[in-house]
């Protein structure tokens, strides 16, 4: 397997603000943990410096009016009609370099797609990507530019058949609705139910429209869902879909806000369940564009994406976070030495209720999506 890791120290230069839950420092933290674990060397050919997307690249999906607003907002000053386009205090703040940071993250995803499509890499991982909520003309859910959509559109414009797999705690709404009416892209999102969590979409009945009927697949999971149930849903739904759809390339969003200690969701995943899904995606994908995503406990982000990168390269990560890293970053939320979590399983009546709900959703998806594809 030829792999590529897209990274720039510039990722962490942009700042949503001290009170915002998305800390871009988590990207630098992940890179440094990967290095100290011996998974990337100083002159490693797998390390690729990304090139920023262009405005023309953004126009593959986003409206000219929205892009003009982002240009105006990148000075850090509030602009007229900003709120109409989803920008302002709260989730999607205006800050200096907003557009430049978005162009760099999106460019890394486009670079990853090109590397994989050209055969220069079998797997390319952009930890700054996966900003799946952005709409054509609106910022949403901490996302200004929808890099998964741009990468997928680039690939389908080259005649590729693309499957998108999203395991973030939040429904990948921006990606789903970008391809809701086409059979050229299969979107699969496993997430906490929209009845409890932003963006309030992603119910099992959202299966696509027109030519895309059956090509939008959602697996909403109950709050407190654990490793066992999350991976069971993934195992029963995703491999059969990939076998049926036969994508040329898989694009995945690997958000880790699904983890037990994440402050913005209510799921109970650990590195145990997360890594089992990473290994399954790898087994399904001869060509794989892997993107980051959510994750607001930054220690979880660094640990999980380090383990994901190790799995992508068929390498063993150490059992413990190296001393050198803890000495430097111990105040970044690392609560112990272990790089790996033990599996977490809910028991009792709560588990019985969750199991019934997960079984119901799996049955629905098998009856309404798998047969359609």
pLDDT digits (tens, 9 = 90+) for 232-243: 999 999 999 999
Contact status, residue 311 vs residue 282, Cβ threshold 8 Å: yes
H or E element in which residue 191 lies: strand 185-192
Contact status, residue 100 vs residue 144, Cβ threshold 8 Å: no
pLDDT surpassing 60 at residue 373: no
pLDDT digits (tens, 9 = 90+) for 29-59: 999 999 999 999 888 999 999 999 999 999 9
What's the CA gap between 49 and 32, in Å, rounded?
A: 15
Q: Which runs of E-coded beta strand occur in 200-314?
A: 216-221, 249-253, 288-291
Contact status, residue 234 vs residue 110, Cβ threshold 8 Å: no
For the chain, give the mean pLDDT.
Answer: 96
Structure tokens at 88: 């302002």
Is residue 266 among the annotated active site residues?
A: no
pLDDT digits (tens, 9 = 90+) for 118-153: 999 999 999 999 999 999 999 999 999 999 999 999
pLDDT surpassing 80 at residue 230: yes
Q: Does domain 3-370 have CATH number 3.10.129.10?
A: no
Q: How many CB atoms lie within 10 A of CB 120?
A: 12
pTM: 0.97
pLDDT digits (tens, 9 = 90+) for 203-217: 999 999 999 999 999
pLDDT reported for residue 371: 54
- Nearest Cα neighbor of 212 from 164, 158, 157, 148 is 164
Q: Please give the DSSP secondary-structure letter assigned to residue 366.
A: I
Give me the mean pLDDT over the 278-282 stretch: 98
- Rg for the chain (alpha carbons), in Å? 19
Contact status, residue 216 vs residue 206, Cβ threshold 8 Å: yes
Contact status, residue 365 vs residue 219, Cβ threshold 8 Å: yes
Q: Which of 62, 132, 133, 171 is catalytic?
A: 133
Q: Where are the domains of the chain?
A: 3-370
pLDDT surpassing 90 at residue 370: no
Give, rounded to a whole angstrom, the gap between the first and last alpha carbons of the chain. 29
pLDDT reported for residue 260: 96
Cα dihedral across residues 142, 146, 151, 156: positive or negative: positive
């Amino acid at each position: 397997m030829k792999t590529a890791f897209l990274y720039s120290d510039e990722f962490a230069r942009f700042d949503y603000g001290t009170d915002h839950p998305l800390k871009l420092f988590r990207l630098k933290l992940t890179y440094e943990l990967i290095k100290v674990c011996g998974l990337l060397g100083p002159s490693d050919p797998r390390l690729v410096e990304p090139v920023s997307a262009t405005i023309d690249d953004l126009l593959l999906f986003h409206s000219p009016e929205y892009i003009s607003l982002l240009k105006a907002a990148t000075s850090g000053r509030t602009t007229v009609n900003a709120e109409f386009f989803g920008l302002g205090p709260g989730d999607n703040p205006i800050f200096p370099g907003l557009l430049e940071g978005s162009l760099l993250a999106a460019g890394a995803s486009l670079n990853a797609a090109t590397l994989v499509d050209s055969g220069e890499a079998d797997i390319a991982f952009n930890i700054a990507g996966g900003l799946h909520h952005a709409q054509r003309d609106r910022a949403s859910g901490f996302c200004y530019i929808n890099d998964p959509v741009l990468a997928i559109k680039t690939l389908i414009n080259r005649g590729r058949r693309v499957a998108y797999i999203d395991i973030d705690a939040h429904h990948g709404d921006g990606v789903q609705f970008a391809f809701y009416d086409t059979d050229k892209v299969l979107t699969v999102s496993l997430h906490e139910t929209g009845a409890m969590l932003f963006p309030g979409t992603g119910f099992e009945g959202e299966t696509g429209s027109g030519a895309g009927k059956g090509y939008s697949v959602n697996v909403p999971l109950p709050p407190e869902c654990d490793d066992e149930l999350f991976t069971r849903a993934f195992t029963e739904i995703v491999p059969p879909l990939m076998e049926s759809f036969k994508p040329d390339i898989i694009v995945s969003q690997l958000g880790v806000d699904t983890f037990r200690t994440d402050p913005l969701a209510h799921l109970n995943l650990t590195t145990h369940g997360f890594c089992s899904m990473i290994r399954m995606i790898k087994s399904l994908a001869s060509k794989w564009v892997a993107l980051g995503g959510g994750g607001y406990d930054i220690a979880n982000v660094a640990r999980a994406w380090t383990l994901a990168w190790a799995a992508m390269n068929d390498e063993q990560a150490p059992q413990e976070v190296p001393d050198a890293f803890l000495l430097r970053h111990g105040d970044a939320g690392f609560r112990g030495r272990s790089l790996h979590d033990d599996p977490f399983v809910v028991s009792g009546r709560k588990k019985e209720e969750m199991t019934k709900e997960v079984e119901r959703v799996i049955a629905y998806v098998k009856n309404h999506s798998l047969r359609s594809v």
